[in-house]
Amino acid sequence: MHSHCTPGATGAAAQPKAFAYNVLIQAFARKGDTARVERWLSNALAAGIQINPMTYSGAVNAFMKAGKLEEADGWLVHMAQQKIPLPLTAAMGSPDQLATAWTKAGQPQRAAAVYKLVDDTRRAGGERGPGKRAPAQY
Domain boundaries, the chain: 13-125
How many Å apart are CA 58 and CA 81, to the nearest integer?
18
**String of DSSP letters for 48-91:** TPPPPHHHHHHHHHHHHHTT-HHHHHHHHHHHHHTTPPPPPTTS
Q: Which residues 6+ apart lie within 8 Å of 115 measured at CB? A: 95, 99
Q: What is the pTM of this model?
A: 0.78
- What H or E segment, with its residue span, contains residue 130? none
The pLDDT score that the predictor gives to residue 124 is 79
| Distance between CA atoms of residues 14 and 50, nearest Å | 9
The CATH H-level (homologous superfamily) assignment of domain 13-125 is Tetratricopeptide repeat domain (1.25.40.10)
pLDDT in tens, the chain (138 residues): 333 334 444 555 556 799 999 999 999 999 999 999 999 999 999 999 999 999 999 999 999 999 999 999 999 999 999 999 888 777 889 999 999 999 999 999 999 999 999 998 888 764 444 444 333 332
Q: How far apart are the first and last CA of the chain?
A: 27
How far is 94 from 77, CA to CA, in rounded Å? 12
